[in-house]
Structure 1
Amino acid sequence: MRAIWKGAVAFGLVNVPVRLYAATGEHSVALHQVHETDGGRIRYRKVCSIDGEEVPADQIVKGYETDDGQMVVLTDEDLEALPLSAGREIGVQGFVPETQVEPITLGRTYYLEPDAAAVKPYILLREALQSTERVALVTVALRQRESMAVLRVRGDVICLQTLLWPDEVRDADFGVLGTEVEIKDAERTMASSLVDSMAMDLDPSQFSDSYADALEAVIAEKVSTGEVVSAPAAEGGESGGEVVDLLSALQRSVEKARADRGETPKDEGGTKKKPGRRRAS
């Protein structure tokens, strides 16, 4: 893993230098938009809505549109002057019971790795969180945004989980739920019995993404039968930074997925194996 942020956890007079790593990553089969007739990648140009001209990257800045349609242009200098850009501290505001953190407010999860010289205070903080059954409520600046977050323990690692701001959680205002209904005792008993009969321990490995597996099987079938195209470079020698040989790229992806699952490559003349999940970031 590669650290995406470096800073320090500050609680009381103690500073614990840490590195932040993304703890999760969603995987899917990466599909591109292509021209149906020749397989060429569809590219998008950044065009000004006023003059219709393509705008180079060094002339693109951020802007905020007001309610009356006015545009406030924010330069790089404007954004760099904000205090967030220099924030490198995970500031502990206090320690709250774990039960007070609603799951709906939880955002992204990151692992915190301490510097070699800060292992002791890191472990002390970890053990304090475990023994008190509390999480540290913190503020942190990540990805050009200030967030509330909590520090909690997972195994022997302290995790940082970002929190949504209160106004980012929508109210579930469904009038139909206020309808008065009569539920009989026998119905409550039967519903509870159904839940008990289907009780289980959580084991995500028992489940798989059947859609992705089926999609990869379709891709592998097209590769094995030669039903692929090699798109030429765009006119003028530009290919958007990438020249794609679909046949070899897909074949390498299938072989890597098989290897990741411990399957041996298909022998010449052998039967085709079902490809494994392709892990795309």
Structure 2
Amino acid sequence: MPRAIWSGAISFGLVNVPVKLYSATSPKTVRFNQLHAADGGRLKQKRVCAIDGAEVPFEEIVKGYEVSPDRYVVITQDELDALDPRATKTIDVEEFVDLSEIDPVYYDSAYHVAPATGGAKAYRLLLSAMEDAGKVAICRFVLRTRQQLCALRPAGGVMMLSTMLFGDEVNSPERLDELEALGEIEANEREVAMARQLIDSLSAPFEPLRFRDDYRERVLELIERKASGEEITVQPTADAPTEVPDLMAALEASLATVRAGDSDRPEPVATRRRARRAPARAARARAAAK
């Protein structure tokens, strides 16, 4: 059985709902250790002073915040502890909003919320009320000494909690100079219509299990082959020449590819590869017709 990472209560007005949090995701990343190429020994990191070059023991290390180049303000652990948010063991609901009002860029980590002992009835009440209202609760709580902003929402008959970034942690796209060119460009109706046809032809219900991390699987396969003693020969790959796309030709070729396919929808990655090659194919076809 999974282990709860937090237990407490949802504070909803004068109502407390005892709950537990469980991680909703398990990111799968292939992790490597750094080894010495000469003998295969694992490398260890040492903390070395930049001034005298001496290795510094852990008990002599303090925290410093750089306020200007090579100028630091030293902060003690006691000073930080005095500022730590009070761990109240409650998820405090501050307001309710529509789910559509929250841009996904604000979401961070996701957790399943389960009722704790004695909290099932209150949990069901809050869940049913939120489902009926179509609302998401914006809350605050303390997780691992850090105050978190979070969204509490119904999801398939249970409640889920997603920690969120604060407003000043999200970068505005207005800072991107490249977006200024968009004001000078307009897509004509025919281009929009063809792009919409391509979108419609590739539309499907979202099935998360259809999408796999192909790169991670290939890395694990490589590790397994090398661990079994197989000698691997890496073939050099040449970079494909960059071509300026003919937008209409790419749209036409993409639509033709999708329409000519069988009932099994191609994987999105393969479709994108064909779309990238479409301008070259269309250009060769036009040249042959001349």
Both proteins in one fold, TM over 0.5: yes
Give the Å deviation of 1:24: 0.9
Is residue 14 from structure 1 mapped to residue 15 from structure 2 by the alignment? yes
> Which letter does structure 2 place at the counterpart of 1:200?
A
Partner SS for 2:28: coil
Give the Å deviation of 1:71: 2.1
Q: Give the 5 Å matches for 1:119-158.
A: 119-158=120-159
Q: 1:177 to 1:145 in 2, by over 3 A?
A: farther
Is residue 184 from structure 1 mapped to residue 188 from structure 2 by the alignment? yes
Q: Which residue of 1 aligns with 2:284?
A: none
Q: 1:181 to 1:80 in 2, by over 3 A?
A: closer
Is residue 110 from structure 1 mapped to residue 111 from structure 2 by the alignment? yes
Give the Å deviation of 1:5: 2.0
Partner SS for 1:79: helix
Q: Give the 5 Å matches for 1:73-112.
A: 73-112=74-113
Q: Which residue of 2 aligns with 1:230?
A: none
Distance between the aligned counterparts of 1:63 and 1:25, measured in 2? 33
Give the Å deviation of 1:97: 1.2
Partner SS for 1:218: helix
Q: 1:69 to 1:17 in 2, by over 3 A?
A: farther
Specify every segment of 5 or more residues in structure 2 that has no aligned partner in the other structure, as ranges. 232-290
Give the Å deviation of 1:103: 0.8
Partner SS for 2:147: strand
TM-score by length of 1: 0.74
RMSD over aligned Cα atoms: 2.0
TM-score by length of 2: 0.72
Q: Which residue of 2 aligns with 1:33?
A: 34
Give the Å deviation of 1:148: 1.5
Deviates more, 1:96-105 or 1:179-188: 179-188
- Choose between structure 1 and 2 for higher RCO, CA contacts under 8 A separated by at least 6 residues: 1
Distance between the aligned counterparts of 1:95 and 1:29, measured in 2? 39
Specify every segment of 5 or more residues in structure 1 that has no aligned partner in the other structure, as ranges. 228-281
Q: Which residue of 2 aligns with 1:220?
A: 224
Partner SS for 1:192: helix
How many percent identity over aligned positions?
Answer: 39
Q: 1:55 to 1:8 in 2, by over 3 A?
A: farther
Distance between the aligned counterparts of 2:90 and 2:35, measured in 1? 44
> Which letter does structure 1 place at the counterpart of 2:148?
S
Partner SS for 1:222: helix
Distance between the aligned counterparts of 1:132 and 1:8, measured in 2? 21
Distance between the aligned counterparts of 1:74 and 1:86, measured in 2? 22
Q: 1:113 to 1:62 in 2, by over 3 A?
A: farther
Q: 1:163 to 1:157 in 2, by over 3 A?
A: same
Partner SS for 1:54: coil
Q: 1:226 to 1:103 in 2, by over 3 A?
A: closer
Distance between the aligned counterparts of 2:167 and 2:173, measured in 1? 14
Q: 1:75 to 1:159 in 2, by over 3 A?
A: same
Give the Å deviation of 1:144: 3.1
Partner SS for 1:73: strand
> Which letter does structure 1 place at the counterpart of 2:205?
D
Deviates more, 1:169-178 or 1:27-36: 169-178
Partner SS for 1:81: helix
Aligned length: 227
Give the Å deviation of 1:170: 0.8
Partner SS for 1:208: coil
